Amino acid sequence: MKVVFVALVFVIGFFAVSAEDHFALIDSAANYYTKGKYEMAINAYEKIVNSGYEAAEIYYNLGNVYYKTKQYPEAILNFERAKILAPGDEDINFNLELSKRYVVDKIEVLPQILISLWINKITGAMTSDAWSFLSIITFVLCLVLMSVYLFMRILIIRKIAFWTGVLLFIVSLLTFICAWDQKKEIDGNKQGIVFTSTVNVKSSPDENGTILFVIHEGLKVGVQDKIGEWYKIKLSDGSVGWLKSTDVVII
């Protein structure tokens, strides 16, 4: 028992120190940024990210620093990572679109069905974790109201509890679908940002492949497959080809 207690104290102390280190780095990075010491701010934020700590605010701030130093592919990468964690954040979306203005390639997006656009907009309003939490809360409330319906003797209260419970069950089901769709979208559609100034996209995963088209740094691409050191990518206009994995950083 004493060993377990000592181990528990050690673990709590370890995470407490780690949290203090993170907060200290965040404060120092913010101070560097306000003082215009952008390279030092970048180093501090990158150290936080490399330690495994993830937060939309960290990626957003790191994107801002990269934008200030005109490192636009790095800025876009971090704004995209921030967007995954906080898809409905207006500041993140605005700065991301601002950074994209410096991308050479202007790729047309394939048209989508209107209902598909609505669904994507709704599911993208919150993260999968937020949708999951809302689904759990509404389901628990539904169970509580069903209990009221089963054990309450007053007829009017039983009716209100029943129909409100049914409504909450429907909401719980819909929010669960949104969470599942958002999670599937993130896991199933791997994407990356091009980090090489000019890339020849090939017809096959080898140096002798035919050049299909040329893309430039900062462009967002979908990553569909990997063979050796080659990625199969897809652009928003439907174009498909192969490039070196060293040309892309996965979001």
* 106 in a structural domain: no
Are residue 10 and residue 82 in the same domain, yes or no?
Answer: yes
Distance linking the first and last C-alpha atoms of the chain:
45
Domain boundary pick from 40, 75, 100: 100
Give the pLDDT score at 6: 40
> Looking at the structure, do residues 94 and 153 belong to the same domain, yes or no?
no
Q: Are residues 169 and 181 in the same domain?
A: yes
Residue where a domain stops, chosen among 137, 163, 188: 188
Q: What is the pLDDT of residues 168-185, one digit of tens each?
A: 999 999 999 988 877 776
My answer on whether 71 and 159 are in the same domain is no
| Residue 219: closest CA among 97, 103, 110 | 103
49, 82: one domain: yes
What pLDDT, in 10s, does the model give residues 107-147? 776 665 666 667 777 777 777 888 899 999 999 999 999 99
Whether residues 14 and 65 fall in one domain = yes
Whether the pLDDT of residue 77 is over 50: the answer is yes
pLDDT, residue 187, reads 65
Nearest 5 degrees, angle CA 214-CA 215-CA 220? 150
| Contact status, residue 236 vs residue 189, Cβ threshold 8 Å | no
User: Is the pLDDT confidence value at 3 over 50?
Assistant: no
Does residue 120 lie in a domain region? yes
Q: CATH number of the domain that 58 lies in? A: 1.25.40.10
Residues 94 and 10 in one domain: yes
Q: Is 156 part of a structural domain of the chain?
A: yes
Distance (Å, rounded) from C-alpha 233 to C-alpha 107? Answer: 14
| Mean pLDDT (whole number) for 23-47 | 89
Identify the domain boundary among 136, 163, 188.
188
On whether both 181 and 196 belong to a single domain, the answer is no
Neighbouring-strand partners of residue 198: 216
pLDDT classification of 186: cutoffs 50, 70, 90: low
* 109 in any annotated domain: no
Query: Domain of 178?
Result: 114-188
CATH at residue 229: 2.30.30.40
The verdict on residue 107 lying in a domain is no
Domain count, the chain: 3
Q: Which residues contact 148 (CB under 8 A, 6 or more apart)?
A: 157, 158, 161
Mean pLDDT value across the chain: 85
Q: Quick one: 67 and 92 in the same domain? A: yes
Output the DSSP codes for the chain: -HHHHHHHHHHHHHHHHHHHHHHHHHHHHHHHHHTT-HHHHHHHHHHHHHTT---HHHHHHHHHHHHHTT-HHHHHHHHHHHHHH-TT-HHHHHHHHHHHTT-S--PPPPP--HHHHHHHHHHTTS-HHHHHHHHHHHHHHHHHHHHHHHH---HHHHHHHHHHHHHHHHHHHHHHHHHHHHHHHHHH--EEEE-SSEEEEESSSSTTSPEEEEEETT-EEEEEEEETTEEEEE-TTS-EEEEEGGGEEE-
Instruction: Give yes or no: residues 198 and 217 share one domain.
Output: yes
Q: What would the pLDDT profile of 10-19 be if each residue is shown by its tens digit?
A: 334 434 445 5
Q: Report pLDDT for 15.
A: 43
Q: What is the pLDDT of residue 28?
A: 87
Q: Is residue 127 part of a domain?
A: yes
Is-above-0.75 flag for pTM?
A: no
Residues 118 and 202 in one domain: no
Residues 8 and 79 both lie in one domain:
yes
Handedness of CA 28, 31, 33, 37 (dihedral sign): negative
Specify the pLDDT at position 19.
56
105 within some domain: no
Which of the four pLDDT bands, split at 50, 70 and 90, describes residue 220? very high
